[in-house]
Amino acid sequence: MTPRNLLSADQNAGGEKVSERTILHSDANCFYASVEHLHHPELSGKPIAVGGDPEARHGIVLTADYIAKKYGVKTGMALWQAKQLCPEITFVPPRMDLYLRFSKMANEIYSEYTDLREPYGIDESWLDVTSSVSIKGDGDKIARKISERMKFELGITVSIGISFNKIFAKLGSDYKKPDAITTMYKDEFKQKAWNLPASDLLYVGRSTNAKLKRIGIKTIGDVARTDKEVLHSIFGKMGYVLWSFANGYDDSPVKKENTLTPVKSIGNSTTTPRDLECDEDVRLTIFILAESVAARLREHGFKCRVVEISIRDNELYSFTRQKKIDHATNITGEIAEYAYGLFKENYDWRKNIRSVGVRGADLVTADYMEQLDLFHSEELREKQMKADSAVDDIRRRFGFYSIQRGLMYRDRLLSAVNAKEDHTVHPHGYF
């Protein structure tokens, strides 16, 4: 059965006609490198890349500017490889606090055109401007105004896709870079999108693309023209999803940012300042996120009975896994260990990792009563809860960095994130 939010773009779940939406996807070009160019005017016209530790001669490229990219420098490449391709390149260490500040300023600009804003990472967002076109002008006019303001107010450029759904809006922003605006309306998406490689379609990662190639599917148009039952036989439910995406049958909404709803789960995710390369990197990052999740649970008077992780590698393949736990908890250490255990069970390190998320779900109130477990020390758990509460109090009074776990000193770059206050928002699943 086709997923409910992948019905024809002309119909809602009741089969009724719905008006066509105007969806924008705005993607900042070479975001980290663009921000660094603003703060290093002496490097104007010279190739730069953000990432790693050039003095220690290790690490990877997080973002390269377009000058460096012309030499073949790519995201995820080792610094020494980038240096071989582009001897004149300058490496700049990442400053996530600076990039987050620019991301927030970009979202302030977006907020003047719509309150339906869904971030997809620190440097890109979907915007549903359907209700604004009668006041602000059509999608093309709004996109051009946003593009102009980004250059004038922030000094960076964006590529913007305009379409009737999120999938083709994102394809539009990727279609032409940098500083471009591309439309993919219903009367033109077949001409523009169907000739693109299947790997450009959301959720077609390295493994899925390899399977598609094995059955002769190379382009998005090939996906669209293939019998959906054939795709279902190979990919399961995702086969229907890919077929629907390729044919434009996606009416998933752009989520309203900062909307208060009844709390069903609490989570945080982050795009790390460098790719994660080993288990220890992931464990440190998971503890950072678990601290935030546990603190939010305590703050709102909840415990969770399900722990979930989300992982996205440096080729943007992503997955989520969850586990029902033995007893409800809001203890940082317990949430972190469950999350790390899920990671170890489900990741094979074929690729380095770009972002990680931790979430507590199936929430119950903090005074939830449950059967004691003979194999767990309730006395120890009580001490851990008191220790967490003490940390919460110290941070409220003296700031987040006033008290840190010893684990955080193993990598100061990765640990320099206040996930609770400065976290990067990512979509929690597309559906």
Question: Which residues are designated catalytic?
Answer: 124
Residue with tokens 């990919």: 235
Helix (H) or strand (E) holding 291: helix 279-300
* 317: helix, strand or coil: coil
Q: Which residues of 171-180 are buried (b: 16+ CB within 10 A; e: fewer)?
A: bbbbbebeeb
Would you tell me how many other CB atoms lie within 10 Å of the CB of residue 350?
10
- State the pairing for strand pair 181-184/158-163: parallel
287, β-bridge pairs: none
Sheet holding 265-276, edge to edge: 265-276, 353-365, 302-313, 318-329
Question: Do you find a cis peptide bond into 178, omega within 30 degrees of 0?
Answer: yes
* 327: helix, strand or coil: strand
* Cβ(286)–Cβ(356) below 8 Å: yes
* 171: helix, strand or coil: helix
- State the pairing for strand pair 158-163/48-50: unpaired
Q: Where are the alpha helices (DSSP H) in 323-424?
A: 332-346, 378-398, 412-415, 419-422
